Amino acid sequence: MESKFNMKKILFAKPSITKKEIDYVNDAVKNGWGLNCYDYIHRFTDKLKNYFNSPHVWPTSSCHGALHIILMALGIGRDDEVIVPDMTWIGSVTPISWLGATPVFVDVLEDCLSIDPSKIEKAITKKTKAIIVVHPYGNVAKMDEIIAIGKKYKIDIIEDAAEAIGSEYKNQKVGSIADFGVISLHGTKTLTSGEGGAIFCKRKDLVDKITIIESQGRNSSRKADFWVDEIGLKYKMSNIQAALGLAQFERADDLIKKKIQIFNWYKENLKPFSDIFLNPKPAWVKNSYWLPTIIFGKSWNFNLDKRNRLLNNLNKKDIALRPIFYPVSSFPMYQDCPNNVVSQDIYKRGINLPSYFEMIEDDTKYVIDTIKKELVI
């Protein structure tokens, strides 16, 4: 007889919505208009500044939009190059392409799946204008080494912490370590505004530039008469989104603590497995474990067929596993990079496990027990 937790659908991620979120959003819907139309945006901006200890913050409608604004503020365009990790979501890359610049794909480290600092310098040319550092699945990149490279070559560093809200590197929140950072507040993330993101900036000399671009080119001193100084972008977060985001960040510690607990449940249940690798946690890192990740070692002889069969079979049992990202260089709009050997191999052997606030320990046990049966362990 199947146990009771076998009978429910286990998603890979979902938000935790309480009365607080509903009350804030209802208030924004009822009262957040006219002179009050920015109230929750201002409150949310202050909350983000405090949480990330960042002097300048702009909530946005998406993480993609946040990256687009930063790259535009840095003047990146045609004939420029931006270094990015090869294994990441396409959203880290498309803003580069939209500006006419060229993404240069660098391989990732096998343990944390973030960009390999030892490969960055080899990819730098006279055209390199920025390096985007992605913190995947809650894991944290080797920021000291990367920032040192940026200083050495006078290249701007942008942190993409879309998947790592709550992760820390040497007691600093990722996304706020480099001069520029972004986060995602998509509905699958640990904290959400439904859809959304934010920009973090330490560079005083670019605050006005970012503000003008973010305001569709309008000069903040002349907003009343709709004067526009330059071509800008429209990625503003709505007051309603900000209400939801504010309520979520007021619960940030509990939401992140639950993610860590879920990872630890999985870790315990995975002890019978040999030659697998989970999200790493070096001594100087706090990993928020957005999605617990399994990399199967070479002894498993994993390939795309075996990975996809596992995903499909668990999906039939209402368990939503997720594959890790393809190398972006393998997509048809970019040039393949066969020398990025980790990125070209590891996606065939990696899966993300379900993780969301409502999960209980029995759910994680059921997920792992089902994987065991499929893999005949």
Kindly give the residue spans of alpha helices, DSSP state H, lying in the chain.
19-31, 39-52, 63-73, 94-98, 117-123, 143-153, 207-214, 239-249, 252-269, 304-316, 341-346, 361-375
Determine the Cα–Cα distance for residues 343 and 330; give it in Å rounded to an integer. 10
Distance CA 245, CA 251 (A): 10
| Cβ atoms of residues 196 and 241 within 8 Å | yes
User: CB atoms < 10 A from the CB of 86, how many?
Assistant: 29
84 vs 159: CA distance, rounded Å = 10
The predicted structure's pLDDT at residue 240:
98
Which phi and psi angles does 72 have, rounded to 5°? Answer: -65, -40
pLDDT reported for residue 227: 85
Distance of CA 92 to the CA centre of its chain: 9
Residues 6+ apart with CB under 8 A from 128: 80, 81, 82, 83, 104, 153, 155
Question: Whats the size of the chain, residue-wise?
Answer: 377
What domains, with CATH codes, occur in the chain?
A: 4-14+252-375 (3.90.1150.10), 19-249 (3.40.640.10)
Q: What is the pLDDT of residue 1?
A: 35
| Segment 323-326 long-range contacts (CB within 8 Å, at least 24 positions apart) | 323/347, 323/350, 323/351, 323/352, 324/87, 324/113, 324/137, 324/293, 324/295, 324/350, 324/351, 324/352, 325/87, 325/88, 325/89, 325/136, 326/87
> What tens-digit pLDDT sequence spans the chain (377 residues)?
344 445 689 999 999 999 999 999 999 999 999 999 999 999 999 999 999 999 999 999 999 999 999 999 999 999 999 999 999 999 999 999 999 999 999 999 999 999 999 999 999 999 999 999 999 999 999 999 999 999 999 999 999 999 999 999 999 999 999 999 999 999 999 999 999 999 999 999 999 999 999 999 988 776 667 888 899 999 999 999 999 999 999 999 999 999 999 999 999 999 999 999 999 999 999 999 999 999 999 999 999 999 999 999 999 999 999 999 999 999 999 999 999 999 999 999 999 999 999 999 999 999 999 999 999 76
